Each structure stands twice: as structure tokens, then as C-alpha cells.
């Protein structure tokens, strides 16, 4: 008689996680989110609450929430319980743990990260179970946020980016008859000081769950501290709570000053318009007096109701001819022409990172240095490829070349300069000094080279700003976003990552004009 081997529970969980119908789960959640959007548009808040209840109790929502927190960048960061769901068995069991009845979040783990000004920013890290529960309720909050959010809010929202905010600045300030003054707003400790009572009254979700998250406390040096205000940075649901808190500022300014181009009480409005990315925002105006005496007090009272205040040190009013920095870009008008380019601080930070990386790899191979630099340069270049960045790209390429030349000479102090040049720098096409390393030989006369990315090779392409009213969770905007994704993929395919790998024959490198 043949007996089959018993199947363990871990094996069953492994197979169950692998066989989950992810596309079907995604369709279920998207359908519920679209129904929530429609209910919000119709003002049926009872229906909204019922649909949220259905979504947060669904198996599809729980499965996608676990998948999200176990596959993002924070999947290896544990909370105070030191637990991680790194195996398929743990992930599948984690779905069963997401229950509302009896749920009590654990305290946050407090860590600190360094800021550019030398100070430290506190982060609160929830446990993996709490992160999954927050991701589940995030699915239910996003449709409401996307429907009622400010039109020119671009931070922490799906399908929106910094590029959209910068493009909005260009559209707002490029014409000659546009506003000439800018109020640069900076909120002092935005995430840390939001009023809990305001959140409890205005966030459309289950109040018991929200209250437990806000009052969970944090653990530092084995001591438990209570939380009386704010939402922790590091929590997956904090960005959308901050957006809910700051939404309404644009509508408040429009109710006071009217929309751009409209007339109010027989007078053209004062050019007041707001562009916001998370807690960073700018407000335009035709005169300094309007921003100083009318707009700034209005914004201060708006924030005070939510437990927030403007930073007096960083909040300032500047002329567009003087220029201002916003999201790493410098926006300034030169001779009646608006130019947006990378800020000096951003260029300085990149060069410091590149030089530190080169010095730290003095004993590593050339290929390792190229891979590390390419990763850094590609990310920076892709962020700025939609602004006037060619001059900055050329400057950075030149500075990095000087650092690499010093690196090469330091590795071989007893070799001649010609030998060092031939060892590390190749002739490719019309370029004489290409920092490239041979990585393999496919044929006797062909060598595959890994070369350093030149920022100047990244093409400048103007970003097409997303429409202000576009909602990715609304069915009527589906065609618009499909066409937008298709256009983005076509542009991205022309400059791929494979551009750093070249198959070059030795004859072509020696005689580029004849090949």
C-alpha cells in the first residue's frame, strides 16, 4: 500500500500565495474605488462609507495591501516587534492577521535621519502588520482624496510628480502679463504638528482605527512616549493625511481673490494662484503688498486651525526677476524670458556625492566605479531632463572628469600620464576621453565596454503637465491616462539603460573616422 507524504501548512501557504489571482484582485479594488469616486461626486457619503467598509474587509484589498508593503523599499525595515514578512508563508498568513475587530497598533520605532542643514529628522517606523493595515485603508482613502483635492496639488498623489509642479510654474509665470511676486511658503514641522482633533473630525475613515494610529506612541531607547500631535514620517498613510490637512487652501484663495483671468467686483484679480507639492508651496501675486498684507495672514489663519504655523525664517516674498528655488529647480525671469534650471544647491549636492563615491572606490575596479556613478547620474539627469539643464549637465560632466582623472593618477603614481590615459580613457566615435572599462570579449576582435554616462547625452524633452482636473480613479479619465502612459513609454524607449553598454571593435576605436 502506497501512502502519500503529508503536506505541511507552510507548503500550502507557499502555493496559495503564488497562485493568488493578482489581476483579478486589482480589478476588484479598482472597481470599488471607482464606485467610491462616483458616490463622492454625487454627495452620497453614506454610500461612500458602505463602500469603504466593503473594501477594507475584502480579501482582495488585504492581499494587495500585504503585497504592497512586502515588495516596496521598506520591506526590510522592521518595527518594534522585529518581524518581517519575507517568505510566501508569512505573507499569506499576514493576510489573515488584517482584522479590524480587536486590532491594536504597536508603538512606532523612532529613528533619525540627517537633513541637509545638519539637523536630524525623526521618523516613526510602524510594524509590518500596521503598515499593511494602513495600506489597506489607503486604498479606501485615495478615491476620496483624488476627488476633493486641490487642483494644483502634486505631491504624494498617483500619476502626479515634481515635473508636473514645475511645468505648472512655467505655465503660471512664463507670460509677460503674469504675476511678478512669489510667496515661498514653508510650514514648520508639518508632519509633526498636525492637530489630532482636526484629523478626527475631517478624515473620512473609521474613527476608532484612526484614533489608535494617532495615539500609538513611539519607542525610543526602550522608553515609550505618547503622541499628542502630528502624523509620523515613515508611516505609509501619513502623506495622504497631510494632503487632506492642506487641501482647501486653493479653494480659500479662489473664494477671496477669484480665479486667474476672471473679474471680481469689476476688477481683475490680484494674480493670486497656489502651486503645492506636499507641504512645499508657492503663491503668486501681482504686487508685494497683496502677498504680505492679504495672502500671508489668510494662509496663517488657515494653517492655525490645523495646528500648523509658517516658518518665519524660510517663508519669504521674492520677485520673479530675483528668482526662487522650488523642488530643486531655480525659477527666474531673464530679460522678460522665464528660465527654469537646476538649482545651485542641487548641483553642489550631486557633485559632493559623486566625489565622495569616487574617493571611496579608490581600490575598486573601474567597472564598479562606472556602475555606481551611472546609477547616481542617471537618476539626477532624468529628474532634470525636462528643464533648461544642458549647461548644468556640461558643468557636472566636466567636474566628474577632473575627479576621475585624479582618481586614475592616484591609483598609479609611478606610471606616465599617457599610459594612464590609455588605461582608463578610450576613443569612441568623435570623443577622445571616454571613461570606459572592458567587461567581456564576445569574439577575438570585439570587446564589450561599460562606459560612464554623460549627462550631456540625455535629451531635453519638455514635460506635458497633467490636466488639473484629471482623476486616475475616475472612469471617464481612463482614455486620457492610457494615452498619456503610451506617450511616456515611447519617449522613454529612445534613451534606455543599455546606452552605457557598447560593442566596439579595436579597429573602430583606433580609427573612428573610417568605421
The helix/strand/coil state of 107 is coil
Question: Using a CB cutoff of 8 Å and minimum separation of 24, what contacts does 397-403 make?
Answer: 397/454, 397/455, 397/456, 399/351, 399/354, 400/351, 400/354, 400/358, 400/373, 400/452, 401/433, 401/435, 403/354, 403/355, 403/358
Beta-bridged to residue 388, according to DSSP, are none
pTM of the model: 0.88
| Residues 6 or more apart in contact with residue 308 via CB below 8 angstroms | 187, 188, 190, 193, 194, 245
H or E segment and range at residue 509 = helix 506-510
As a whole number of Å, the CA-based R_g of the chain is 27
When pLDDT is cut at 50, 70 and 90, the band that residue 242 belongs to is very high
The helix/strand/coil state of 340 is strand
What are the tens digits of pLDDT across the range 102-151?
999 999 999 888 877 677 888 889 999 999 999 999 999 999 999 999 99
Is the pLDDT score of 469 beyond 50?
A: yes
Rounded to whole angstroms, the Cα distance separating 372 from 379 reads 11
Res 2: pLDDT: 43
Average pLDDT, the chain: 88
Res 96: pLDDT: 93
329-334 β-sheet, strand order: 324-326, 329-334, 337-342
Contact 455, 373 (CB under 8 A): no
Res 365: pLDDT: 92
For residues 262 and 397, the model is more confident at 397
Which whole number is the average pLDDT over 186-193?
A: 88
The three three-digit cell numbers of residue 36, written as one number: 467610491
The helix/strand/coil state of 259 is coil
Res 502: pLDDT: 44
Q: What share of the chain is helix, strand, coil (3-state, %, to 5)?
A: 50, 20, 35
Is the pLDDT score of 501 beyond 70?
A: no
When pLDDT is cut at 50, 70 and 90, the band that residue 442 belongs to is low
Rounded to whole angstroms, the Cα distance separating 65 from 315 reads 38
Query: Crossing angle for the helix pair 88-97 and 9-18, nearest 10 degrees?
Result: 90
| Residues 6 or more apart in contact with residue 85 via CB below 8 angstroms | 66, 69, 70, 91, 94, 128
Percent of the chain with pLDDT over 90: 70
Contact 55, 204 (CB under 8 A): no
Amino acid at each position: 500500500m502506497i501512502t502519500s507524504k503529508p503536506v505541511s501548512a507552510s507548503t500550502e501557504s507557499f502555493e496559495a500565495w503564488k497562485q493568488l489571482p493578482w489581476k483579478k484582485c486589482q480589478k476588484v479594488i479598482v472597481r470599488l474605488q471607482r464606485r467610491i469616486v462616483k458616490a463622492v461626486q454625487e454627495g452620497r457619503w453614506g454610500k461612500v462609507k458602505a463602500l469603504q467598509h466593503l473594501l477594507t474587509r475584502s480579501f482582495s484589498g488585504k492581499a494587495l495591501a500585504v503585497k504592497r508593503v512586502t515588495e516596496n523599499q521598506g520591506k526590510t525595515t522592521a518595527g518594534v516587534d522585529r518581524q518581517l514578512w519575507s517568505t510566501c508563508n508569512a505573507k499569506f498568513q499576514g493576510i489573515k492577521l488584517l482584522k479590524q475587530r480587536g486590532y491594536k497598533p504597536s508603538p512606532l520605532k523612532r529613528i533619525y535621519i540627517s537633513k541637509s542643514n545638519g539637523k536630524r529628522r525623526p521618523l516613526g517606523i510602524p510594524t509590518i502588520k500596521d503598515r499593511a493595515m494602513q495600506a489597506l485603508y489607503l486604498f479606501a482613502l485615495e478615491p476620496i482624496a483624488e476627488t476633493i483635492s486641490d487642483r494644483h496639488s502634486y505631491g504624494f498623489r498617483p500619476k502626479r510628480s515634481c515635473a508636473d509642479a514645475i511645468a505648472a510654474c512655467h505655465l503660471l509665470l512664463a507670460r509677460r502679463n503674469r504675476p511678478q511676486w512669489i510667496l515661498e511658503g514653508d510650514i514648520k514641522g508639518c508632519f509633526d504638528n498636525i492637530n489630532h482633533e482636526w484629523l478626527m473630525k475631517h478624515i473620512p475613515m473609521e474613527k476608532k482605527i484612526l484614533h489608535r494610529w494617532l495615539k500609538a506612541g513611539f519607542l525610543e531607547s526602550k522608553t515609550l512616549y505618547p503622541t499628542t500631535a502630528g502624523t509620523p514620517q515613515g508611516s505609509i498613510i501619513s502623506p495622504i493625511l497631510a494632503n487632506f490637512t492642506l487641501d482647501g487652501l486653493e479653494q480659500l484663495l479662489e473664494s477671496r481673490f477669484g480665479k486667474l483671468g476672471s473679474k471680481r467686483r469689476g476688477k481683475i484679480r490680484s494674480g493670486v494662484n497656489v502651486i503645492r507639492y506636499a507641504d512645499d508651496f508657492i503663491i503668486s501675486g501681482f504686487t508685494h503688498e497683496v502677498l504680505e498684507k492679504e495672502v500671508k495672514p489668510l494662509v496663517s489663519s488657515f494653517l492655525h486651525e490645523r495646528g500648523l504655523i509658517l516658518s518665519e525664517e524660510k517663508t519669504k516674498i521674492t520677485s520673479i526677476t530675483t528668482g526662487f528655488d522650488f523642488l530643486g529647480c531655480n525659477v527666474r525671469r531673464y530679460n522678460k524670458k522665464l528660465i527654469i534650471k537646476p538649482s545651485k544647491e542641487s548641483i553642489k549636492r550631486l557633485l559632493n556625492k559623486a566625489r565622495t563615491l569616487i574617493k571611496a572606490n579608490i581600490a575598486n575596479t573601474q567597472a564598479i566605479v562606472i556602475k555606481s556613478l551611472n546609477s547616481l547620474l542617471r537618476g539626477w539627469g532624468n529628474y532634470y531632463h525636462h528643464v533648461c539643464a544642458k549647461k548644468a549637465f556640461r558643468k557636472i560632466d566636466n567636474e566628474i572628469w577632473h575627479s576621475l582623472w585624479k582618481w586614475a593618477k592616484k591609483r598609479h603614481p609611478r606610471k606616465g600620464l599617457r599610459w594612464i590615459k590609455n588605461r582608463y580613457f578610450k576613443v569612441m566615435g568623435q570623443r577622445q576621453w571616454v571613461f570606459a572599462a572592458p567587461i567581456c570579449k564576445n569574439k577575438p576582435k570585439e570587446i564589450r565596454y561599460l562606459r560612464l554616462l554623460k549627462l550631456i547625452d540625455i535629451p531635453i524633452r519638455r514635460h506635458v503637465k497633467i490636466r488639473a482636473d484629471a482623476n486616475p480613479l475616475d472612469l471617464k479619465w481612463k482614455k486620457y491616462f492610457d494615452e498619456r502612459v503610451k506617450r511616456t513609454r515611447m519617449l522613454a524607449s529612445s534613451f534606455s539603460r543599455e546606452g552605457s553598454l557598447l560593442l566596439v571593435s579595436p579597429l573602430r576605436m583606433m580609427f573612428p573616422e573610417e568605421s
